[in-house]
Chains A and B, each alone.
Chain A
Amino acid sequence: MRSLRAVLTILGKDLRLRLRDRSAFVLGVGAPLVLGLILSQVVGDFGGGEFHATFAVVDRDGGEAAAGFPDVVRQVPGVTVRDNLTEAEARSAVDHGDLQAAFVIPEGFTDAVQAGRSTELVVVGNVDEGLMTQVATSIADRYAGTVDAVRLSVAIASPGGPPDPQLIAAAQAQPPPIQLVPLPAADRQLDSTTYLMAGLGVLFLFFLVQFGVIGLLEEQRGGTMARLLAAPIHPVAIPVAKALTSVVLGIMGLTVLAVVSSLFLGADWGDPLAAAVLIVAVVLASVSIVTLVVGIARTTEQANMVGSIIALVMGLLGGSFFPINRGFLTRLAVLTPHHWFLRGLGDGQAGGVGDVLGSVAALLGFAVVVGSAGAVLLVRGAWRR
């Protein structure tokens, strides 16, 4: 009972110190939020997640061949269509980044199609939105192909005569041979915002949890360890309290990041309970590594340096910045808590706790194996000397 009280007393003191200097908040929440925000703007969507774009369709033709085009564009998942702009307005909006691209159907488009003459469908793109311009061009190509198929069908059905409007309508109503459809929800990957927030959150988690366990070496350097060891408490209560400080800081940091990124940045961490279980598991795994580092290190500087290297290497390997899809590295990635956390979040996007149990088991296994070695080293560690 006395030892438990001592653990809670040291935990309370450490949390007070960490919250007072705000560095934990900056590292655990501020850094991943800011870096995630910047990276999501720089990298854009990379993960096969949901696609979002707004395109304008300017119909200067007004004929039958042009009338179906806005609906064709709308059929592309994730695309929003604005068809109430003039050509000048659309070009301006694209230039200013308010639209990702615009389609301009010129006057005489329908006549040209029906007469079998060459015509054009103009795609207005932004030099800064190269990917979106390519998407728009693909849509235009596809429509051109459809129009061509209709024209050919009608031409074959009524050779030499005027085009039959009913025949044209029937040909247009035929579904395209290939359609873009959203993948089933259960198989979805994380969208880029969620991926970056979660990935960077785990990356910085490894720095954040150092605040607790490395406190052992700081107590030694600051002279307070002698007073703690002279106090009437079991000596093991001290490292236990420090590890608990790491766990509490880690859970607080990732939870606040999840809530803030969900509320303000549109991140989707999936089922809250599943996300909470994953957060606890990944925090335990990260604390186990820091415990091992502090168990080996002799000074605070040494522990910080080794801890930072491990955090960065594991973060890169585990996919904190971007998914790793190369054979050898993919196999190494499974050795990192980051990989299992991100995978668990992906699995849990449309499911519940049951869908993330595999990842949770991997994380807890990691925590037990590494943490056991760390605990042995920590109890015998340099902080006692």
Chain B
Amino acid sequence: MSGDEAVVLDAAGLRKAFGDLVAVDGVDVRIAPGETYGLLGPNGAGKTTTISMIAGLLAPDAGHVTVDGLELTTRSVRAKVGIGLVPQDLAIYPDLTARENLAFFGKLYGLSRRELAGRISEVLRVIGLTDRADDLTREFSGGMKRRLNIGLGLLHRPKLLILDEPTVGVDPQSRNAILESVEELATAGMAVLYTTHYMEEAERLCDRVGIIDEGQIKAEGTRRELVALVGEGDRISLKASGDLEAAAATARHLDGVQSASARTDGAGAGIDVVARDARSLLPALLVSMHEVGTEVSGVEVTEPDLESVFLHLTGKALRD
């Protein structure tokens, strides 16, 4: 994002050490309204320490955080009103009902009695727990608890929603419901800071991604920007027959093609093409193959993902 855009979160130069261990070292994060920012990194990369400072739970050793223009410290009251936190660990009271949990935290955020009743109903509907509102949460399934955990962060309509690995240990159905909820919130204009070590979640949800490792942001941008940053191209694999060497030579002359080679291994024969943008190249490539008399019977496009970017930047896999 450019420096002129409105920002909900502006965290600059965050640093935090625990004894000799520097957990976070010079992290900058800026998020605009309606934007979902993913902090992607393996366990122990510094994600949770970073969001603890951004949520006002932990005082940074250096750097500063502003939320909606208000300076944030661990004692800030006004700035914290703008933040909704969904911690990684379930943060609900098992011996209170879902409604009582929501009412308790709603009161802490200063919602009036009337406002609270309306918001509780609304949040229960969003997280799909209206029918179970008056059950003790200890009786809930893991997925239901996770959804309530998210609902508690949404209750007071925060400007910035911080979700710390909200889908850890969640069944696929509940995970999908959670991801859909996050997409809806961003569409509604909420700024979302989403930490995860699931690459597919970051790719699906995030407008921009910061890759964090060993307490530092190694790279930041949209998925495409990150892929471009590490110089990896898309791969097009054509299953084809005919003069494959001639076809590969033709392909190399097309705009955007980085390399093309023939594959002559019997049933798997064809052409492998590496290009900057496979999707826009594909029509021209198929036309040129037809023109040189190559018969194409199958196409497979592989775009480089964040996993490979992460591997390239850090030398290790996301789940290490």
Contacts and interface: CB of A to CB of B under 8 A. Distances in A.
A13 B89 CA distance: 20
B69 to A, nearest CB: 16
B85 A226 contact: yes
Given A9-B107, A20-B95, A224-B93, A234 B87 contact: no
Contacts of A222: 91, 93-94
Contacts, number: 70
A232 B152 contact: no
A232 B79 CA distance: 8
**How large, as a class, is the contact surface on chain B?**
20 to 34
The A interface, classified by DSSP as helix, strand, loop or mixed, is: helix
Given A13-B96, A232-B77, A234-B75, A224 B91 contact: yes
Contacts of B76: 232
B89 A231 contact: no
Contacts of B168: none
Contact of A234 (B77, B78, B83): B77
A71 interface: no
Nearest to B90: A223
A228 interface: yes
Contacts of B57: 226, 229-230
B81 A232 contact: yes
Interface string B35-59: 0000000000000000010011100
A233 B78 CA distance: 9
A231 B87 contact: no
B168 to A, nearest CB: 12
Contacts of A20: 95
Contact of A21 (B77, B85, B95, B104): B95
Given A16-B96, A17-B93, A227-B105, A232 B87 contact: no
Interface residues of A, number: 23
- With most chain A CB atoms within 10 A of its CB, the pick from B57, B80, B85 is B57
Contacts of B80: 230-232
Contact of B89 (A2, A5, A226, A234): A226
Contacts of B110: 2, 5, 232
B259 interface: no
Nearest to A8: B107
Contact of B85 (A5, A17, A227, A233): A227
B77 A233 contact: yes
A235 interface: yes
A6 interface: yes
B308 interface: no
- With most chain A CB atoms within 10 A of its CB, the pick from B85, B96, B104, B109 is B104
B121 to A, nearest CB: 20
A240 to B, nearest CB: 14
Nearest to B92: A224
Nearest to B56: A230
B152 A227 contact: yes
Nearest to B84: A230
A273 B205 CA distance: 65
A233 B109 CA distance: 8
A230 B83 contact: yes
Contacts of B109: 231-232
B74 interface: yes
A228 B94 CA distance: 16
B4 to A, nearest CB: 29
Nearest to A225: B91
Interface in A1-24: 2, 5-6, 9-10, 13, 16-17, 20-21
Contact of B93 (A13, A230, A234): A13
A6 B57 CA distance: 17
B108 interface: yes
Contacts of A235: 74-75
A21 B96 CA distance: 11
Interface string B97-135: 000100011011110000000000000000000000000
Contacts of B55: 226, 230
Nearest to A224: B91
- With most chain B CB atoms within 10 A of its CB, the pick from A5, A222, A232, A235 is A232
A298 to B, nearest CB: 15
A244 B87 CA distance: 27
Contacts of A233: 77, 108
A154 B32 CA distance: 117
A293 B77 CA distance: 29
A28 B92 CA distance: 27
B108 A228 contact: yes
A229 B56 contact: yes
B74 A229 contact: yes
Contacts of B93: 13, 17, 222, 224
A223 B89 contact: yes
B87 A227 contact: yes
B249 to A, nearest CB: 61
Nearest to B152: A227
Contacts of B52: 226
Contacts of A10: 108
Contacts of B83: 230
B104 A13 contact: yes
A10 B87 CA distance: 19
A234 B56 CA distance: 11
Contacts of A17: 93, 95-96
A9 B104 contact: yes
A50 B67 CA distance: 71
- With most chain B CB atoms within 10 A of its CB, the pick from A2, A6, A9, A226 is A226
A228 B92 CA distance: 11
Nearest to B52: A226
Contact of A2 (B77, B87, B92, B94): B77
Contacts of A229: 56-57, 74
Interface string A86-127: 000000000000000000000000000000000000000000
Contact of B105 (A16, A21, A223, A231): A231
Given A226-B57, A230-B83, 19 more contacts: A2-B110, A5-B107, A9-B108, A13-B96, A20-B95, A223-B87, A223-B91, A226-B91, A227-B85, A227-B152, A229-B56, A229-B74, A230-B85, A231-B105, A232-B77, A232-B108, A233-B77, A233-B108, A234-B77
12 contacts: A13-B93, A16-B100, A222-B91, A223-B92, A224-B91, A226-B89, A228-B108, A229-B56, A230-B56, A230-B57, A232-B109, A233-B108
Q: Pick the 5 closest A-B CB pairs, nearest first.
A: A223-B89, A232-B80, A230-B85, A227-B91, A231-B108
